[in-house]
Chains A and B, each alone.
Chain A
Amino acid sequence: GAVVSQHPSWVICKSGTSVKIECRSLDFQATTMFWYRQFPKQSLMLMATSNEGSKATYEQGVEKDKFLINHASLTLSTLTVTSAHPEDSSFYICSAGRGGVSGYEQYFGPGTRLTVT
């Protein structure tokens, strides 16, 4: 159990266009999802916390208007990169939190590689 999917797994888009990345918790409900960005050979950097039914909480330095996050249901969060530029090229990873009798864990999606040309 506790599977998180991401779609697409990779995407190439032209500079100035927008691209949407979906994150789904397949077998559990997640009131909170997280979006990370990872540059090559670096750690994960949290971009924002996505809460179902409310506005996302962005980390300092992350442009809210560029990275639009929507958490429309308990199993789906989306990240839209608006007016993408080459510097937005990166690996984007989502995760979903689940608590239970065994404790709290975050489960990660397989990631989306975005290339902006």
Chain B
Amino acid sequence: AQTVTQSQPEMSVQEAETVTLSCTYDTSESDYYLFWYKQPPSRQMILVIRQEAYKQQNATENRFSVNFQKAAKSFSLKISDSQLGDAAMYFCAYCTGTASKLTFGTGTRLQVTL
């Protein structure tokens, strides 16, 4: 069974600084998708960034980028120039393909301080 592990229950970063959230996963599949979702206090799940396993290039969305290491089954999220609005729960998630279910990690709560 596929599993997703987030080993950091909580992280803190100062405003304007950079923080990296860790995620590892376990799968025997060769083709899959990886995601980072943000859940602010409103509890609305927001897609932050997506990575297709067949793509070697790391995905980037503005201040958010990933370090995807397929052989190591690692998928970390880097947030640059952190902002107060980045404070939220961040979930790493995995799915095997289109129309398939997501498997979520346990989440990392990110605090952003002044």
Contacts and interface: CB of A to CB of B under 8 A. Distances in A.
A104 B45 contact: no
B64 interface: no
Contact of B45 (A49, A95, A97, A103): A95
A18 interface: no
Contacts of B37: 108
B99 interface: yes
Contacts of B103: 46
Nearest to B43: A111
Nearest to A107: B47
* Interface range for B: 20 to 34
Contacts, number: 55
B94 to A, nearest CB: 12
A43 B102 contact: no
B80 to A, nearest CB: 23
Interface stretch (B11-19, B65-73, B104-112): B104-112
Contacts of B35: 105-106
Contacts of B97: 104
Contacts of B47: 105-107
Given A104-B33, A108-B37, 13 more contacts: A34-B101, A38-B43, A42-B107, A43-B104, A97-B99, A99-B99, A103-B33, A106-B102, A108-B44, A108-B45, A110-B43, A110-B44, A111-B44
